[in-house]
Amino acid sequence: MAEVLLFHHAQGQTPGFHAFADDLRAAGHTVHTPDLFSGRTFDSIPDGMAHVGEIGFEEVLARGAKAAEDLPAELVYAGFSLGVVPAQQLAQTRPGARGALLMYSCVPYTEFGQAWPAGVPVQIHGAQEDPYFMDEGDVDAARELVAATDDAELFLYPGDQHYFADSSLPSYQPEAAALLTERVHAFLADR
């Protein structure tokens, strides 16, 4: 079974985020869910991103790194949207990573000053009409990452919702969420 460090999206640790983590735990994985927002949740993506603007992206990354400090190196790093940023940074820069799961977002791998590490598999998941994923450079970064490493997969799902796998939000798309979850379970089974 895998040990996973899972980071939440810009609306915080919603019930749907916890449900996803609990589903992974029910399959036998150890899942750590640090709270980058110190208990705060937000009703919308813009509200959550306004909070990120207040605390700063550097602070989000620092909180992500701190969450990993006392954990073993052999982790799968996972994140939803905003949570992809610390997950991807740690997967690329912290030795020992077993894999990365990047959901709803992808950062250019060059952002972290080095190539994607050899032997670290990655899955990237996004909705094919999601304006955040498709229009803000994430899908391009995802395609570049897939081209730059031998063990990367990009999965595009029908729909235009950003947080389509969060069962507690109006953006939830059950069929796409079920397929994403199935693919995540298959990925973790090999870690």
Could you report the per-residue pLDDT of 70-118, keeping only the tens digit for each? Answer: 999 999 999 999 999 999 999 999 999 999 999 999 999 999 988 999 9
With respect to residue 48, please indicate whether it lies within any of the assigned structural domains: yes
22 within domain boundaries: yes
pTM: 0.97
Q: Which among 22, 40, 9, 15 has a CA at the least distance from the CA of 130? A: 9
In the chain, the number of structural domains is 1
Distance separating alpha carbons of residues 118 and 116, to the nearest angstrom: 7
129-156 pLDDT, tens digit per residue, is: 999 999 999 999 999 999 999 999 999 9
- The CATH number of whichever domain residue 122 belongs to comes to 3.40.50.1820
Task: Confirm whether 190 is domain-assigned.
Answer: no
Q: 155: domain range? A: 12-71+83-128+137-173
Say how far apart CA 94 and CA 152 lie, in whole Å. 18
The residues with which 79 forms a beta bridge, in sequence order, are 7, 102
Residue with tokens 């507690």: 168
In a domain? residue 77 = no
Would residue 180 count as lying in a domain?
no
